[in-house]
């Protein structure tokens, strides 16, 4: 039914407009007025259970629609009252005229005007002012809130999805309070229009009664004024409910719970106040002419509430203060004496970040935007680069300072364990020797962290000299970004955890929902799919083409759940992508192959180790094979081409597992993984 909600609302609004000109019967009018009262009560109760105002973001529109609805009902009821007079059969209006005000139209007018004054001057005026102030302050606070979200995101405190959600929430909040400022004008106009409509109806009724129906003034007043007052009360009660709802919404900016919870908790938070109030009421009841029984009942009730509140306060457990801001245990200041006694304390020490970067205090200026640092922006760019290159969305990277490091040192941790560290100098440049420069340059000698190149930390004045000699010169933040990129690239398989997998699945659901729903968990369970993707990432195969990967898994998943088999089928499906990634600049794939006899021997030696294929061969034999491959690969590299090891799919996995330990930058591919139109050139065949 939810798919037709928009149609129902659209038809309802159109019907309200038609109600202004369409005649209805008294029975239909009763139903419509009861609906008005019901919706107004529903809105009021809903606002009382809200925790945040924007939970009912459609409220301004609801106010407008109900205002028009009441105007339409006023027009319809006026038409019936003036046309039918004594024969008017609107039971709701007659009930308000006879039962609520006792059939006395003078009393009815007094009650009506009191309600209008209370609604217009007290509730509506206050709500209008609160709406104006809330809208202004919300708009003024938007830039600061946006900056706070950006800072948390760049620091890795929140995810990209969470940052997007918070920005959207801020925008909705600003739109809501701006709309509420206008909605309060609807409520004020509703109160004014009700008074005008009642006066017009009274005058029109007296004229029709005395001139057309030849009634006396008293009889006309009793007939038409009483019905008009009943009509005004029927309209004014829902209007007051909506005014109250408006006031509740705009005045609950600082609330975190429902209205009932807030009122009871906050008014009973200080038991002494309840006790003193109860004693004061009892004193007034005993020593003044005020009704003793009533005062005693109220006073004793208040004292009992104060006693209950005091008992509840004593029974609340004391909150264990957290350790220092850094969240470490055993730091200075007595934090080491605080026991880990609550789940919140334990959550602070559990490793939840996939990647962390710790920096020494000397590198803090690089991460501080107010000092011109762009380290956090570079971290964000590294994450984007990995996403586009490998199809892996790395979770936000937390960057924080550590007093345990050297001033200019940083450490990269993956899943809580250190994988690398390096020392950079923010006020110097790194001159890297690409391997062809023979002359040394004066500076602090080091090794470039990403690729192990010979390098020197030089001053800004030496930049041109270093470039003239053939050195590649980069600044310290660029060294960090390149190093971090290479670390993430080499450990991509470890980075694909449950959070990252969920982001991939949700991203694919946005494009092709059936692929995800058909595969997981009906055909293959999510951990198996994740392991297949990890196998691809281990060998730097991009998983951006998820549709092809999932289609292949759907096709072969019914037959097997073996990770090795599924991975090989996916690699074959990605043969165009793999072929392009191993091509040299001349358009050829330059490869070193295995002889047929060697492949057969290796295939016969394959055994399963867990869920992976390995060679059960003498290590000395495998060492000779790898050494022979290395010589052939070196010849290909000396010619300026990209070297590749090619073999059959039956031995590819085991060969890659062995070779990549010694030659991590080399690609091991199967013949079946080469596209049909690829230009393959086998430079050498290994045989022992």
Q: Mean pLDDT highest for which of 40-44, 70-74, 391-395, 570-574?
A: 570-574
Residue 204 banded pLDDT, cuts 50, 70, 90? confident
pLDDT in tens, 352-409: 678 999 999 899 888 888 788 888 889 989 999 999 999 998 888 888 888 889 999 9
CB 172 within 8 A of CB 138: no
**How much of the chain exceeds pLDDT 70, in percent?**
81
Residue 529 banded pLDDT, cuts 50, 70, 90? very high
The token pair at 299 is 């006073």
Residue 337 banded pLDDT, cuts 50, 70, 90? very low
Residue 329 banded pLDDT, cuts 50, 70, 90? very low
pLDDT in tens, 471-499: 999 999 999 999 999 999 999 999 998 88
Residue 548 banded pLDDT, cuts 50, 70, 90? very high
- Read off the pLDDT of each residue in 574-597 and give the average, rounded to a whole number: 92
**Domain made up of 364-493: CATH architecture:** 3-Layer(aba) Sandwich (3.40)
pLDDT of residue 456: 95
Whether 318 shows a pLDDT value over 50: the answer reads no
Whether 332 shows a pLDDT value over 60: the answer reads no
Which of residues 611 and 524 earns the better pLDDT score?
524
CA gap 241, 239 in Å, rounded: 5
| 536 CB neighbour count, 10 Å cutoff | 22
pLDDT in tens, 212-236: 777 777 777 777 777 777 777 787 7
pLDDT of residue 338: 45
Whether 345 shows a pLDDT value over 90: the answer reads no
Whether 304 shows a pLDDT value over 80: the answer reads yes
Whether 343 shows a pLDDT value over 90: the answer reads no
Is the previous residue joined to 521 through a cis bond, with omega within 30 degrees of 0?
yes
Q: Closest by alpha carbon to 100, among 113, 117, 112?
A: 112
- Read off the pLDDT of each residue in 508-517 and give the average, rounded to a whole number: 89
CA gap 578, 670 in Å, rounded: 10
Coil, helix or strand for 227? helix
- Read off the pLDDT of each residue in 36-51 and give the average, rounded to a whole number: 82
CA gap 473, 440 in Å, rounded: 14
Place of tokens 């919404």: 249
Whether 426 shows a pLDDT value over 70: the answer reads yes
pLDDT of residue 266: 64
Lowest mean pLDDT among 275-279, 425-429, 612-616: 275-279
Whether 20 shows a pLDDT value over 80: the answer reads no
pLDDT in tens, 239-258: 778 777 777 776 665 455 55
Lowest mean pLDDT among 148-157, 338-347, 447-456, 533-542: 338-347
Which of residues 637 and 90 earns the better pLDDT score?
637
The token pair at 196 is 């005008």
The token pair at 500 is 């990252």
Q: Closest by alpha carbon to 75, among 10, 22, 132, 13?
A: 22
Residue 181 banded pLDDT, cuts 50, 70, 90? low
CA gap 170, 151 in Å, rounded: 15
Whether 276 shows a pLDDT value over 80: the answer reads yes
Query: Which of 3.40.50.10490, 3.40.50.12790, 3.40.50.10860, 1.10.3720.10 would CATH assign to domain 581-688?
Result: 3.40.50.12790
Whether 613 shows a pLDDT value over 80: the answer reads yes
CA gap 136, 343 in Å, rounded: 40
- Read off the pLDDT of each residue in 259-263 and give the average, rounded to a whole number: 63
pLDDT of residue 139: 60
């Amino acid at each position: 039914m939810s798919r037709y909600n928009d149609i129902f609302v659209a038809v309802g609004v159109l019907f309200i407009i038609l109600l202004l000109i369409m005649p209805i019967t008294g029975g239909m009018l009763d139903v419509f007025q009861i609906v008005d009262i019901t919706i107004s009560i529903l809105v009021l109760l809903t606002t009382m259970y809200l925790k945040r105002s924007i939970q009912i973001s459609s409220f301004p529109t609801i106010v407008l629609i109900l205002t028009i609805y009441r105007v339409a009902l006023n027009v319809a009821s006026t038409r019936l009252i003036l046309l039918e007079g004594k024969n008017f059969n609107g039971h709701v209006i007659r009930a308000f005229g006879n039962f609520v005000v006792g059939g006395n139209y003078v009393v009815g007018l007094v009650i009506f005007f009191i309600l209008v004054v209370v609604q217009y001057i007290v509730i509506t005026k206050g709500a209008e002012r609160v709406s104006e102030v809330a809208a202004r302050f919300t708009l003024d606070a938007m830039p600061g809130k946006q900056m706070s979200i950006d800072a948390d995101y760049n620091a890795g405190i929140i995810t990209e999805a969470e940052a997007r959600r918070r920005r959207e929430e801020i925008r909705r909040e600003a739109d809501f309070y701006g709309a509420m400022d206008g909605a309060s004008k609807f409520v004020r106009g509703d109160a004014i229009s009700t008074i005008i409509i009642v006066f017009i109806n009274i005058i029109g009724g007296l004229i029709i009664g005395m001139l057309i129906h030849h009634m006396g003034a008293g009889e006309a007043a009793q007939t038409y004024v009483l019905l008009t007052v009943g009509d005004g009360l029927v309209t004014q009660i829902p209007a007051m409910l909506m005014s109250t709802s408006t006031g509740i919404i705009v005045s609950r900016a600082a609330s975190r719970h429902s209205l009932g919870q807030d009122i009871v908790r906050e008014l009973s938070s200080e038991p002494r106040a309840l006790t003193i109030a109860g004693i004061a009421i009892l004193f007034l009841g005993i020593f003044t002419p005020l009704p003793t029984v009533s005062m005693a009942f109220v006073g004793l009730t208040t004292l009992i509430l104060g006693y209950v509140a005091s008992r509840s306060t004593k029974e609340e457990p004391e909150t264990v203060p957290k350790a220092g801001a850094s969240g470490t245990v055993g730091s200075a200041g007595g934090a080491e004496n605080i026991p880990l006694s609550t789940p919140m304390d334990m959550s602070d020490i559990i490793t939840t970040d996939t990647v962390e970067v710790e920096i020494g205090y000397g590198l803090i200026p690089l991460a501080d935007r107010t000092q011109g640092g762009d380290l956090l922006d570079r971290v964000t760019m590294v994450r984007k680069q990995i996403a586009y290159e490998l199809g892996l969305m790395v979770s936000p990277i937390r960057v924080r300072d550590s007093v345990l490091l050297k001033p200019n040192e940083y450490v990269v941790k993956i899943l809580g364990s250190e994988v690398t560290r390096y020392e950079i100098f923010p006020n110097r440049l790194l001159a890297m020797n690409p391997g062809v420069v023979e002359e040394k340059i004066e500076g602090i000698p080091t090794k470039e962290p990403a690729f192990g190149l010979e390098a020197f930390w030089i001053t800004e004045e030496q930049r041109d000299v270093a470039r003239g000699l053939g050195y590649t010169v980069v600044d310290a933040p660029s060294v960090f970004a390149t190093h971090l990129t290479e670390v993430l690239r080499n450990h991509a398989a470890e980075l694909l955890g449950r959070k990252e997998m969920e982001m991939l699945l949700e991203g694919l659901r946005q494009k092709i929902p059936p692929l995800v729903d058909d595969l997981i968990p009906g055909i293959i369970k999510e951990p198996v799919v994740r392991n297949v993707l990890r196998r691809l990432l281990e060998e730097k195969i991009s998983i951006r083409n998820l549709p092809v990967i999932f289609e292949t898994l759907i096709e072969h998943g019914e037959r097997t759940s073996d990770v090795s088999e599924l991975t090989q089928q996916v690699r074959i499906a990605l043969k165009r992508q793999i072929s392009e990634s191993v091509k040299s600049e001349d358009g050829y794939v330059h490869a070193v192959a295995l002889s047929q006899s060697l492949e057969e021997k290796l295939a016969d030696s394959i055994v399963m180790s867990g869920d992976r294929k390995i060679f059960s061969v003498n290590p000395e034999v495998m060492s000779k094979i790898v050494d022979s491959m290395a010589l052939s690969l070196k010849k290909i590299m000396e010619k300026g081409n990209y070297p590749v090891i090619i073999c059959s799919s039956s031995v590819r996995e085991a060969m890659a597992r062995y070779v990549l330990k010694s030659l991590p930058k080399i690609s091991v591919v199967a013949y079946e993984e080469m596209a049909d139109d690829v230009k393959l050139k086998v430079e050498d065949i290994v045989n022992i």
